[in-house]
C-alpha cells in the first residue's frame, strides 16, 4: 500500500519485537494467517498471549486459526493529524474488533479500519482482517470494512 493513502495509517514499525510468547502470532501474520492461543483447560482464547488463562488460570495453550472476520466493538474517527506526516491520511478510523471464533470472552484486537467512508462506520459493522507483511517477522494488521 502507498505510504500516505487517505484513511490508511502509514507503517511506522518494521519489526515485531516478538518474544517467545508472541512469536507464533507474528510468524502466522507474515504468512497471512490470524491465529490466537486457546486455553487447553476451558477453551478461552487469550489475546494478547498471557502466561495464564484469565478464566481458569490454566497455563497450557494451543494456537488455533481464526476466521479473520469480526465485528466493530468500538471505534473513533481521527480527523486531526497529530503529526505533520499524517496530513494526507486523515480522516482515518481506528477501531477495536471483536474477533469471530473467540466465543466466550470474545478476544479483541485494535486496528485501522480501511476501505470505508469514516462517517459510515458503526458499532456492530462487519470487518475482515488484512495482513500486510512489512519485514520477515512483522506484518501490519488492518481491518477491511465490509459494512
| Chain positions contacting Zn ion, by CB under 5 A | 39, 41-42, 44, 53, 55-56, 58
Closest CB 54 distance from Zn ion, rounded Å: 8
Closest CB 3 distance from Zn ion, rounded Å: 42
Rg of the Cα atoms in the chain: 16
3-state helix, strand and coil shares in percent for the chain, rounded to the nearest 5: 10, 35, 55
Question: What is the β-pairing status of strands 126-133 and 139-145?
Answer: antiparallel
- Decide whether 77 or 105 has the Cβ nearer to Zn ion: 105
Distant-in-sequence, close-in-space partners of 117: CB < 8 Å, separation ≥ 6: none
- Decide whether 44 or 112 has the Cβ nearer to Zn ion: 44
- Decide whether 1 or 42 has the Cβ nearer to Zn ion: 42
Amino acid at each position: 500500500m502507498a505510504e500516505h493513502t487517505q484513511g490508511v495509517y502509514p507503517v511506522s514499525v518494521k519489526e515485531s519485537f516478538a518474544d517467545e510468547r508472541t512469536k507464533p502470532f507474528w510468524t502466522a501474520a507474515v504468512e497471512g494467517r490470524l491465529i490466537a492461543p486457546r486455553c487447553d483447560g476451558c477453551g478461552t482464547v487469550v489475546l494478547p498471549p498471557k502466561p495464564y488463562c484469565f478464566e481458569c488460570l490454566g497455563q497450557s495453550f494451543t494456537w488455533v486459526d481464526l476466521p479473520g472476520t469480526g465485528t466493530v466493538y468500538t471505534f473513533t474517527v481521527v480527523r486531526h493529524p497529530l503529526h505533520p506526516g499524517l496530513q494526507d491520511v486523515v480522516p482515518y478510523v481506528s477501531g477495536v474488533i471483536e474477533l469471530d471464533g473467540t466465543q466466550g470472552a470474545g478476544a479483541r484486537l485494535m486496528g485501522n479500519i480501511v476501505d470505508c467512508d469514516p462517517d459510515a462506520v458503526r458499532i456492530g459493522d462487519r470487518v475482515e482482517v488484512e495482513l500486510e507483511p512489512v519485514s520477515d517477522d512483522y506484518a501490519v494488521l488492518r481491518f477491511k470494512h465490509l459494512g
